[in-house]
């Protein structure tokens, strides 16, 4: 005897006769904000504390000058100016590197680039970078290429320190903003 094959009827098709007007669209989802989510408020507060500690450390270590950077923060332009510093200083350092590799280095071009880099560093209060640029200029004035290259390494290293610290600051600010309004 062969087993009986049972077939079941397909599931019934549900037909909904209501018009779309009976079911209004759902309201758009909005991101939760700190006023309605205690966890987000706590996260934002913890991130603000990390941000303040990070900036205080930047001041204590002389990465950026407190007076200049605080003014930028009060104006709400610290992140924008920091981004400009990061991009412009990178390009200027690259241009200086190219000029320094040439057999005949153009003094005027390198001096002009060094001045631009000093102005760029001053915009965010990166005094150590500015001082290292001055040190680089001293070696350049006496035409000591090896001294220039060593001091250019110092400029580059100090630039990297400032860049890393302001990038961390901007990441923390972005994370705080993602938590919603204060």
Q: Which residue has the tokens 């001082």?
A: 131
- The CA distance from 9 to 11, in Å, is 6
CATH of the domain spanning 38-179: 1.20.120.160
Provide the terminal-to-terminal Cα distance of the chain, rounded to the nearest Å. Answer: 77
Q: Please, which pLDDT band fits residue 182 given cuts at 50, 70 and 90?
A: low
Q: What is the pLDDT of residues 13-43, one digit of tens each?
A: 444 444 444 545 545 544 544 455 778 888 8
> What is the per-residue pLDDT across 87-116, written as a single tens digit (0 to 9) for each?
999 999 999 999 999 888 888 898 899 999
Query: Average pLDDT, stretch 38-61?
Result: 91
Domain ranges for the chain: 38-179
117: exposed, middle or buried (Cβ count in 10 Å: 0-12, 13-18, 19+): buried
- pLDDT tens digits, one per residue of 119-137: 999 999 999 999 999 999 8
Which of residues 106 and 86 earns the better pLDDT score? 86
Please give the pLDDT value at position 25: 54
Task: Kindly list the distances between the CA atom of residue 81 and the CA atoms of 27, 34, 181, in Å, as whole numbers in the listed order.
Answer: 38, 28, 23
């Amino acid at each position: 005897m062969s087993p009986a094959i049972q077939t079941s009827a397909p599931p019934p098709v549900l037909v909904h006769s209501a018009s779309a007007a009976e079911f209004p669209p759902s309201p758009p989802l909005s991101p939760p904000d700190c006023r309605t989510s205690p966890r987000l408020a706590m996260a934002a507060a913890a991130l603000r504390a990390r941000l303040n500690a990070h900036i205080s450390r930047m001041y204590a270590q002389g990465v950026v000058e407190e007076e200049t950077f605080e003014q930028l923060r009060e104006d709400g332009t610290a992140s924008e100016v920091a981004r400009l510093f990061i991009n412009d200083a990178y390009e200027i350092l690259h241009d200086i590197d190219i000029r320094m590799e040439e057999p005949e280095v153009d003094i005027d071009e390198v001096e002009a680039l060094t001045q631009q880099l000093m102005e760029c560093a001053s915009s965010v209060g990166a005094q150590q970078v500015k001082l290292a640029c001055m040190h680089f200029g001293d070696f350049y004035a006496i035409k000591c290429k090896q001294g220039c290259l060593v001091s250019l390494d110092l400029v580059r290293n100090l630039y990297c320190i400032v860049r890393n610290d302001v990038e961390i600051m901007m990441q923390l600010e972005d994370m705080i903003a993602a938590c919603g309004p204060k």
